[in-house]
Chains A and B, each alone.
Chain A
Amino acid sequence: MSIPQNTSSESFDALYRQSARDLYAYVRTLLGDDAGAEDVTALAFERAYRRRASFDASRGSERGWLFGIARNAALDELRRRRRSAPLLAEPPDESAIAPEEEADLAIRRTTVRVALAALSPRDRELVALKFHGGLSNAELAAVLGVSESNASTRVHRAVMKLREACHAPS
């Protein structure tokens, strides 16, 4: 079922407010740089806005639909970069760790950041969709174009790898 035209603007506005930060976090994790993530995030919202009448609620949630659009745009961007120049991830922002944070917390989060970076792009994407995007396994399956059980297995495998990477000696 399509979003009714008269309420689509309000619906889109609500979707934007619910998803903007999560979507940016997902895209940024996938691309590895701020400029690209900003472009792709803006492009994804613009595409979603222009195609909002074609959204079919029977095929999944609005959030999953939006992340699917963002994923396509991000993968296209990754392919374009691969053709033109090697992907250079921006260095982690050390200032993100607040000085007042406790030392063990700071160490743990740095470990998580390093472990995330060590994952394969596919696993990193799954973690980003699950943790940053907060998608259910059904939504995740719709975004990836796989079955729900397959998506669940992939998520579990990626989380296990992340846990192992966090425990691995640095």
Chain B
Amino acid sequence: MRRRDPLTPEQERDLEALDRALAGESVDLDLRELDELVRDVRATAPEMTPAFAARLEHEVSEGFPSPQERPPLRERRPWRGRRWVLLPAAGSLAAVLVALVVVLGADDAGDTGTSLSAGPEATSSATPSAGVAADSAAAEDTPAAAQRATVPDAIPPLPSAGSAASGAGAIAPAPARKVQRGAVLVIDAPDGRFDATTDAVIATVGRFDGIVASSQIGSSDATGSEATFDLRIPTERLDRALAALSKLGHVTERSQNLQDITASFSSAQERLTDARAERRGLLRTLARATTQQKIASIKGQLRSVNGRISGLKGQLASLRRRADLAAVSLTVRGGGSRETGGATGGGHWTPGDAAGDALRVLEVSASIALVCLAVLAPLGLLGGAVAIAVRCGRRRRRETALDPA
């Protein structure tokens, strides 16, 4: 804040007299000295040389056509006069950084938070303990978290079937848990984007190395379009795949289920081990058999054991697939007659639809404007503050030229 220096009446009188003297008017007798001072100072005023006056006159009359001809007062740095050019670039860079932070933040929130935010709508068919495991895995959403379903579980040791592999007195390692995961997801496609959404589903599944086991797409004017997908997604990528699929539209239903198939897997594995041991025993007995009757009997038993082994192998492979690939049932719903009409051109596009579309366009435009404002307003304020600070600093630096050296 500037200091105010109120003038005394005497000072005001002096200044008025000075202004009158400068204007060539008469002043009071007691202040005639000021009049003389004005005349004397003006008489000592430096005068332009005729040569400079002529040069200046010429430049003014020509409108300063060639400023380059006159040597510059200072050696200008190339960027000095165009420093303002950097401001939009800096602003754009800041905007991009802010947008990146927002987008990355949204991605993180989507990956971890979508499954949680769907909580009120989600219906979990898993058991309570399994539900906790699924929730924590979904919340962390890392490969490690996903693989947690197959790492040895310390709490529930599986019952040992007394397999031959356990050996004499050897402590059998705890078998890895085998878990079969599944999910049900129902999403509403954005208006006018049903086909694009179904295409995106397939692309997303491919991105996570999943497969579309089956799909069915149907539409009717009354109920709208609906597509159902039976998907298989690698278990370790299920959470990320569900997060990505959830972003394709508005999630109206989402649930996950978890089934522990460790017991079935272990049982099949042990029965396979037993069958192989039995086959080895039969082969040894066969080698020692001497009579045709005995040999025929052992061969019959071998055929039976081989059949059992094949069946058990198939059972184990099936269980492995169930553990490795999660089954996802995905339903994509479109918006009814407006959807089919607008997207495919098969229906009628009514003025009501047009009004709705116009409203939607306005909503989106307003949203974009709001986001832009949210980014640009702080940047503008910051830029304004910087500009004011720069201006004040420049003024202060200039004023130092009048300070004693």
Residues of chain A whose beta carbon lies under 8 Å from any beta carbon of chain B: 9, 12-13, 16, 20-21, 24-25, 28-29, 34, 37-43, 45-46, 49-50, 72-73, 75-80, 82, 86-87, 96, 108-109, 112-113, 116, 120-122, 125, 127, 130-132, 134, 136-137, 145-147, 149-150, 152-153, 155-156, 159, 162-163, 166
Contact = CB atoms under 8 A, between A and B. Distances in A.
Given A20-B56, A136-B19, 19 more contacts: A13-B60, A24-B48, A25-B46, A25-B47, A50-B64, A76-B73, A76-B398, A76-B401, A82-B405, A121-B404, A131-B38, A131-B45, A134-B22, A137-B19, A146-B2, A149-B6, A152-B7, A156-B11, A159-B37
B74 interface: yes
Given A42-B59, A45-B56, A159 B18 contact: yes
Interface residues of B, number: 51
B42 interface: yes
B82 to A, nearest CB: 15
B15 A155 contact: yes
B398 A166 contact: no
The residue among B5, B37, B46 with the most chain A CB atoms within 10 A of its own CB is B46
A137 B404 contact: no
Contact of A153 (B7, B43, B60): B7
A72 B398 contact: yes
Helix, strand, loop or mixed for chain A's interface?
A: helix
Contact of B402 (A72, A78, A150): A78
Contacts of B46: 24-25, 28-29, 34, 37
B399 A75 contact: yes
A21 B18 contact: no
B397 A79 contact: yes
A162 B37 contact: yes
B83 interface: no
Given A39-B73, A86-B405, A156-B7, A131 B41 contact: yes
B44 A113 contact: yes
A41 B49 CA distance: 13
Contacts of B398: 72, 75-76, 79
Contacts of B7: 149, 152-153, 156
A150 B55 CA distance: 38
19 contacts: A24-B47, A34-B46, A41-B48, A42-B70, A45-B56, A45-B59, A45-B60, A49-B60, A50-B64, A75-B401, A82-B401, A112-B41, A116-B41, A131-B22, A132-B41, A132-B45, A152-B7, A153-B11, A155-B15
Contacts of A13: 60
Given A72-B398, A156-B15, A40 B41 contact: no
Interface string B385-405: 000000000010111111111
Contacts of B44: 96, 109, 112-113, 116
B3 interface: yes
Contacts of B351: none
Interface of B: 2-7, 11-12, 14-15, 18-19, 22, 33-34, 36-38, 40-49, 52-53, 55-56, 59-60, 63-64, 67, 70-71, 73-74, 395, 397-405
Nearest to A145: B395
A153 B4 CA distance: 9
B159 to A, nearest CB: 89
Helix, strand, loop or mixed for chain B's interface?
A: helix
Nearest to A163: B37
Given A24-B48, A49-B64, A72-B398, A120 B404 contact: yes
Contacts of B47: 21, 24-25
B56 to A, nearest CB: 6
A20 B74 CA distance: 23
B63 to A, nearest CB: 7
A112 B40 contact: yes
Contacts of B402: 75, 78, 120-122, 125
Nearest to B41: A131
Contact of B63 (A21, A49, A87, A125): A49
Nearest to A78: B401
A85 to B, nearest CB: 11
A20 B48 contact: yes
A147 B2 contact: yes
A68 to B, nearest CB: 11
A147 B4 contact: yes
A112 B38 CA distance: 10
Nearest to A81: B401
A28 B52 CA distance: 13
A150 B201 CA distance: 74
Contacts of B63: 9, 49
Contacts of A37: 46
